[in-house]
Amino acid sequence: MTRALITGGAGFIGSHAADSLLAAGYEVRLLDNLSPQVHGDNRQRPSYLAADAELIIGDVTDADAVERALRGADMVLHLASVVGVGQSMYDIEPYVRTNEVGTAVLLQALSKGPVERLVVASSMSIYGEGLYRSADQSVIACEERPIEQLRNGDWELRDKAGSPLEPVPTPETKQPSLSSIYALNKYAQERMCLITGKAYGIPTLALRFFNVFGPRQALSNPYTGVLAIFAARLLNGRRPLVFEDGLQRRDFVHVHDVARACRMALEADHAQDVFNVGSGQSRNILSVAQDLADVMGRPDIEPEITRKYRAGDIRHCFADIGKSRDVLGFIPHIHFKDGLEELAEYLGDQIADDQAERATHELLQRGLVA
């Protein structure tokens, strides 16, 4: 039986990927440090983990723990990462240590004992701004918005004549534009894995996840996905905080689809390449907050539009998933509204420690929100 090691396997995406692999007949081992920011302070095995999944509690930066977890593993799904654009801009050393040094520790071990296949989680954050179409119908990549423009509350990207640009789906061919420490981390992770995989004959794929949502997402982590942050606010009877004007567009993909994409990547014949994993659709953040309030039975709690901006934020980015469809056979199955209803059902008996205002204050103190 094929044994898969999932680093970060007790987390949101990792636990669902474990379920998918177990259902397909794999043996599954998980390596996770049970970070308090994600799992709370008790460091207990999460109740949602499949009983058949072996859990090793250890850190990806610990070479002994990594080597122990790799014993007998045939393939690796590398998900272990500290996530969040905002926090990465002030907790720089922990982000680099876990995301980049941790990946180096894993790859060092793999250089001594290669596996049959390696899949690493990357992120849409590496793109910076997505692609845009100008008035003459040419598709262009844009630089970050000037700080003076943001201070004036002018959120949209414009061409040289001042006309707004139209956002279009972003394919894997777009050159990275790294606007946060987290984006830099994720790009380093995928490049390190692809370079090492090629050198040691390990077929390697990097999956660039867009905005993943669904049950098991950490509700008390103020740097996790935006839907979980909004849910924590709503569970506490508070208005979701929406930056800028709320019309920035993102791609929301359900965690069950992401878990399936992970399994497909582990089983693919393709090697040394990158793939977008998203829904292929875009939604503005304001409408997402309103939709979530509706399915949670709190339509009376309207989002609070802050008209503030955060360092490292981009305006629009959503996925072109044509390559993932054509090469991996990946087609998202779960409609956004259906996914929201499942999330609302999961939230029914959850208690969330809403940390959104504390996180915003942390950024504000450091001049990262204005």
The set of catalytic residues is 182
Cα–Cα distance between 150 and 153 in angstroms, integer? 5
- Rounded to a whole number of angstroms, the CA Rg of the chain reads 20
Alpha carbons within 13 A on the beta-carbon side of 210: 29
% helix / strand / coil in the chain, to the nearest 5?
40, 20, 45
- Cβ-based neighbour number of residue 338 at 10 Å: 11
**CB–CB of 194/204 below 8 Å?**
yes
What contacts 24+ positions apart, CB below 8 Å, involve 197-202?
197/118, 197/271, 197/272, 198/272, 199/111, 200/110, 200/111, 200/114, 201/114, 202/110, 202/114, 202/115, 202/116, 202/117, 202/118
Q: Would you state the structure tokens that stand for residue 359, as one six-digit string?
A: 């996180």
Instruction: Say how many residues make up the chain.
Output: 370
